Structure 1
Amino acid sequence: MRRLLLKLINRALLIGPVGPMMGSEAGVHTNSRRRLVVGLGNPGMNSSRHSVGMAVLEALASRLGVADSWRGDRHVSGEVIVSDIQDTQIVLLRPRLLMNINGVSVAKAAVKYSIKPEHILLVHDELDKPLGKLAMKQGGSARGHNGVRSCVECLQTDVMPRLRVGIGRPSGKTSVDRHVLGRFSQEEQKVLSGILEESVDILLSQLTDKENMQSPLLPRGGRPASQTGKQRERLSAPRKDTATGQT
């Protein structure tokens, strides 16, 4: 019932116009490529384990020298930075919506900046990996992550590559909800800075590798979801999958 309710909320929030591109966002060279990097999390809880994706995005913005350039954009229900890496325009996004409906912000940004789902890189926490472990996932199921599930439902596809940042499972009798919404312990904070730096290295590698930057077919295991109504009209459909197998 809860999952159905969240799906209905996602769809309801997506109804409505998306603002046009303005200012420097519109002045993209014709040979420039554009990518969207999203830090999933809860607004106002940037220091929690569940919002570690936002912390990674902040570290990326610092590395790019644009950490003071965040600005609110009501058209995408989030905060954005538009920057450049080589000949690629990078849009950084921190949703201002709760984790369970982060996908609404991501889908709106995808439409506003004309970015295909396969060119959207999600950064999020991963319970099933210990703190310090990082992994890239090339599309596929949400694996129980509500923020990713929201993105899949709103974009109507699961092809988005993801950087999964391990936060580990709770110990003892601590509930999962309390664990993910809690802050990193002092011991965890000692290794967190290294994790953020390594995460940024991986993101920059993904964003500057020419093979990764090609317009790919659906990743192995990726699939387009059924599109209906306004979302089919508003979101560009990914290319047909010619690969087989699972990841």
Structure 2
Amino acid sequence: MIAPRLIVGLGNPGAEYADTRHNVGFWFVDRLASDLKATLAPQPKFFGKVGRAGELWLLEPSTFMNRSGQAVAALARFYRIEPNEILVVHDDLDLPPGAIRMKQGGGNGGHNGLKDIQAHLSTPDFWRLRLGIGHPGERAEVASFVLKPPRREEQEAIDAALDRCLVAWPKLAAGDVAAAQRILHVKA
């Protein structure tokens, strides 16, 4: 991996969604921005809140999850950022709370944010940082599950995972995926 030039946190805009499981991507970008002393500010031409730390761009789309690709593509095209220089941070139902997986490319697992990004970039070959939120057990309950806050023990596990992501960040920033994965891919 070459060092990422764009980190995208996925979530839904608005105070009513701020603490929901679907917004873990926003939570990571907020923490990373704080660590890097970058300020996120609304940028209408990029359909989101944008910050910069050196050569690194941070983005939280202000579109709803299923339209995330509009923001990602707008910023990536404007700054000539290639898909393999983009890291998308998102919630993952297939991982337990606190689990983390990082990979490049692949399917979208039914995640509407990833699906829209793939469509707008015309490729699945961007990097993904998948943060586990668990699964409600029933497919019919997924929509309401992701739009509710985690239970206390789930939140603690997710917070610990976010902390691990920040510990791994210097390795990711240097493009050392193997070293970052050794930090990220521990048992939750």
The TM-score, its normalising length taken from structure 2, stands at 0.86
Q: 1:116 corresponds to which letter in structure 2?
A: E
Matches within 5 A, 1:1-150: 35-44=5-14, 45-66=17-38, 69-84=39-54, 89-150=55-116
Q: Is contact 1:34-1:115 (8 Å) kept? A: no
| Greater helix content | 2
How far apart in 2 are the matches of 1:182 and 1:34?
Answer: 30
How far apart in 2 are the matches of 1:117 and 1:173?
Answer: 31
Aligned-partner SS, 1:175: helix
Structure with the larger RCO, 1 or 2 (CA within 8 Å, 6+ apart)? 2
Partner of 2:168: 202
**Structure of larger gyration radius:** 1
Spell out structure 1 runs of 4+ moving beyond 3 A.
171-174
Q: Over aligned residues, Cα RMSD in angstroms? A: 2.0
Q: Is contact 1:37-1:92 (8 Å) kept? A: yes
Tell me the CA shift for residue 172 of structure 1: 6.9
How far apart in 2 are the matches of 1:210 and 1:129?
Answer: 23
Pair 1:102–1:211, CA change in 2 (3 A): closer
Q: Is contact 1:46-1:52 (8 Å) kept? A: no
How far apart in 1 are the matches of 2:63 and 2:40?
Answer: 16
Q: 1:192 corresponds to which letter in structure 2?
A: I
Q: Is contact 1:118-1:161 (8 Å) kept? A: yes
Q: Which runs of 5+ in 2 are unaligned?
A: 179-188
Tell me the CA shift for residue 187 of structure 1: 2.1
Partner of 1:240: none
Identity %: 37
How far apart in 1 are the matches of 2:156 and 2:134?
Answer: 15
Aligned-partner SS, 2:172: helix
Q: What count of residue pairs does the alignment treat as equivalent?
A: 174
